[in-house]
Structure 1
Amino acid sequence: MNPEILKLQEQRLAILVLLISVVCGGALFLGFKLALARVRKRPVPPVERRVASVFLGLLLVGLSCLTYALTVEPDWLQVSRVEVPTARLPSGSRLRIVHLSDLHVDGWTKALERLPDEVNALQPDLLVFTGDSLNSEAGLPILREVLSRIQTRYGRFAVRGNHDTWYWSELDLFGGGVAQELQREALRTAGGRVVLCGAPYGMPGRIDTCLRDNPDGFRLVAYHTPDLVEDLAPLGPDLYLAGHTHGGQVRLPFYGAVLTMSRFDKKYEMGLYVVGQTPLFVSRGVGAEPHVPRIRFLCRPEIAVIDLVGSGAP
C-alpha cells in the first residue's frame, strides 16, 4: 500500500485512540474528584459537576457501544442486494451471484454456523469468494465445511487474499471440490456466458491477460482488494468483486471507515461503485482481522447478492 495512505490511516487511528483516552481519563479523573469531595464533604462547583456528567455520560455510551460491537454485531449477518444491468446476457434473463469475502476462520462462530443456510436460502447461481480464508490453520476444516455446504447452480469460485498468500500459501484451501480456485486461466460458467478472471493477491498481471484474451461474454473480475479497479477499468470488465477493506470493520457515524488498508484509502471502502463503465462491489466481509478482538461497529458482516439482469440479444 502507498506509504502516504498508510501514514494517513495510522494518523486517523491515533487520533481516535487519543480521543477515547481523553474521554476515559477525564471521566475517571473527574469521577474520582467528585467521589473524594463527597467523602470529605466539600462542595463541588456546578461547572465541575456538569463537566463530570458529560465525561461520565460519554464513557457510559462508549462502554455500551463497545459491548454491542463485541457481542452483537460480529454475528449479525446482513444480506445486501444489488442489481447490475448488462447487455452481455440475453434480455429477460437473470443470474444471481452471491459474493462472500474475508471469512478469517479460526473457529466456529454463530455467523459461520448460519452462513451456509443463509446463502442457500438466496438460491445463488454461483458463489464468488474473494479471499482471506483463515486466521489459523486450525480453521481449515471449518472453512471447507462452510463453503462445501453452499449449494449453487453453476459452481463455487474463489481467489486467495493477502493473508492466504502470505501465511497459507502451502495449504490446499479450496481442494476436494470446495471451490474452483481462480489462478491462471479464465474459467467459463453459466453455459459459457460468464467468464471469470481472477488471481491470487499480488498477481494482477494474470487478470490483465485474462481480460484481453476473452473479449466475449460477461467478464467478472475477482480479486481480493479494490486496488486494481482503476487500472483494469479501461479493459472493460463487466463486474469487479473485491473485499479486504472489511468496510472499515469499525465505522464512525457520518464518517465511515477509519481504516481500509487500501491504496485508495476511503474512496472504495464498501458497497457498489461504478468506475468508468465497470461496476465495483467491495464486500464488508464476514470475519475479523487476526490478533485483535473480534469486533464490528456499524459494519455488520455481509452476504452480498448481486443479480445480473440481462438486456442483450437472445
Structure 2
Amino acid sequence: MGARKLLSSTAAFATAAGVGVAAWTQIERRMPTLRRYVVELPEGLETPALRILQIADPHLYPGQDFLVDFIRGLADEDFDFVVATGDNFGSIAGADMVRRAFEPLTDRPGAFVFGSNDYYSPRKKRWSTYLTGPSKHSKKRNVPDLPWEELASFFEFAGWVNLTNQAEVIDVPVKGSIFEGDASQTDLVRVGLIGVDDPHIKRDRIPQLPDGWYAADTMRLGITHAPYQRVLNEYTSDDAHLILAGHTHGGQLCVPGYGALVTNCDLPRELASGMAAWSFAGKESPLHVSAGLGTSPYAPVRFACRPEASIIEMRPAARA
C-alpha cells in the first residue's frame, strides 16, 4: 500500500471512529444505572442498618423525561432514606420535571443540599474550558434565576431536612436489612446529619455540631454538593461515618483504562466517582462521590461514565 493510500485509509478510520464515539456519547447519557455499595460501620456503634438512596445532579430540562422516569422508578427499590446532593435543574423549564421526578421518593425520609445549578441556570461556554480546571462563577451573577426556594419548600413539606449550612440529629424508621434479618421488622436509626451550601460557589459554612452527634447510637453523615477538600477535611475531622457528594459527573468524558480527566473541583481525578476513603489529620471517612444522572444542556454527552444513582447500605460491624 502506498503512503498516500495509507494516509487516506488512516484518516478515514479516524473519522469513522470519531463519528462512532460522538454517537455513543449520546447513547450512554441515556443509560442510567443503579449502583449498590455496602459500608461497614465501626465496632461499638449501636445501630441497625440504614439504606441510603443518593440522587445527584439530575440537571433536568426539556427532553430529559427518561431521567424523570428513572428517578420515579427508584421508589420501587429497597431503601430507607434519600439524600439529594443538588444540581437538580438544567434550566428554569425543568422545574416541573424536578418535582415530578422526586414526588414518589418523598414518601421516605430524606435530606438535601443544593448545588450552583439550583440557584443559577447554566450558561453556554466552550467545553474545552471545563477541561482546563474548575469552572468559575461570575461575582456579578449574584441574583439566582432558578426557583430554589420553591424546591426547598417542596422538599421541606415532605419532611426532608434542609442541610444548607445546617446540622441536625434525626430518627429514621428502617426495616430489616436486605442482607440479614427479618425484612418486616421496623427499627429506628438515629442519624446525625451535617451539610453545607455549595462549596463550588463558596457558599459553604461549616455548622456547629448538634447535640448527640457523638452518641454511641448515632450514625454520622456528612453531605455536600461539591467535594472540595476543605469540606471533606472538616467532615473527616468530625468523624463522619460516610460523606456523600456529587458535582463531578464522574468526569463525564472518561478514558477507558484511565478514568476521569477532570473533577471540576480540587478533588483528585482518581476519586471522581465511586466509593473511596478520605484521610485527614490521622482520621479516615468513607467517601462516596456520585457520577450523577444528568448533564448540562450545553454539553449533553457522556463517555465511559454512565449516569447513575446509588443505594448505600450502612451495615453494623459483624459481631464475632
Match status 1:245 vs 2:248: yes
Instruction: Map 1:133-282; keep pairs closer than 5 Å.
Output: 133-150=88-105, 153=108, 155-166=109-120, 167=144, 168=146, 171-176=149-154, 177-178=157-158, 179-183=160-164, 184-190=166-172, 191=188, 193-201=190-198, 202-207=202-207, 209-210=208-209, 214-216=213-215, 217-227=218-228, 228-276=231-279, 277-282=284-289
In structure 2, relative to structure 1, the CA distance for the partners of 1:239 and 1:79 (3 Å cut) is: same
- TM value normalised by structure 2: 0.75
**Aligned residue type for 2:213:** N
C-alpha distance in structure 2 between counterparts of 1:80 and 1:47, whole Å? 49
In structure 2, relative to structure 1, the CA distance for the partners of 1:255 and 1:269 (3 Å cut) is: same
Residue 69 of structure 1 aligns to a residue in which SS?
Answer: helix
Q: Which moved more, 1:138-147 or 1:173-182?
A: 173-182
> How far off its partner does 1:138 sit?
1.7
| Equivalent residues of 2:219, 2:241 under 8 A apart | yes
Residue 81 of structure 1 aligns to a residue in which SS?
Answer: strand
Instruction: Map 1:1-314; keep pairs closer than 5 Å.
Output: 46-70=2-26, 72-87=27-42, 89-90=45-46, 93-150=48-105, 153=108, 155-166=109-120, 167=144, 168=146, 171-176=149-154, 177-178=157-158, 179-183=160-164, 184-190=166-172, 191=188, 193-201=190-198, 202-207=202-207, 209-210=208-209, 214-216=213-215, 217-227=218-228, 228-276=231-279, 277-290=284-297, 292-311=298-317
| Equivalent residues of 1:270, 1:281 under 8 A apart | yes
| Equivalent residues of 2:68, 2:97 under 8 A apart | no
In structure 2, relative to structure 1, the CA distance for the partners of 1:268 and 1:236 (3 Å cut) is: same
| Equivalent residues of 1:127, 1:152 under 8 A apart | no
C-alpha distance in structure 1 between counterparts of 2:71 and 2:169, whole Å? 24
**Aligned residue type for 1:182:** L
| Equivalent residues of 1:212, 1:235 under 8 A apart | no
Q: How many matched pairs? A: 264
C-alpha distance in structure 1 between counterparts of 2:79 and 2:195, whole Å? 19
In the alignment, structure 1 segments of 5+ residues that lack a partner are 1-44
- Give the root-mean-square deviation of aligned CA atoms: 2.4
- Relative to total residues, which structure has the larger helix share, 1 or 2? 1
In structure 2, relative to structure 1, the CA distance for the partners of 1:170 and 1:101 (3 Å cut) is: closer
C-alpha distance in structure 2 between counterparts of 1:186 and 1:195, whole Å? 6
**Seq. identity, %:** 25
C-alpha distance in structure 1 between counterparts of 2:162 and 2:151, whole Å? 9
| Equivalent residues of 1:89, 1:309 under 8 A apart | no
C-alpha distance in structure 1 between counterparts of 2:196 and 2:119, whole Å? 11
In structure 2, relative to structure 1, the CA distance for the partners of 1:180 and 1:301 (3 Å cut) is: same
> How far off its partner does 1:137 sit?
1.5
Residue 236 of structure 1 aligns to a residue in which SS?
Answer: coil
| Equivalent residues of 2:32, 2:67 under 8 A apart | no
What do residues 103-161 of structure 1 show as CA deviations (whole Å, max 9, x unaligned)? 111225243232234312322101101011112122111111111112554x1221011
| Equivalent residues of 1:102, 1:131 under 8 A apart | yes
Match of 1:38 in 2: none
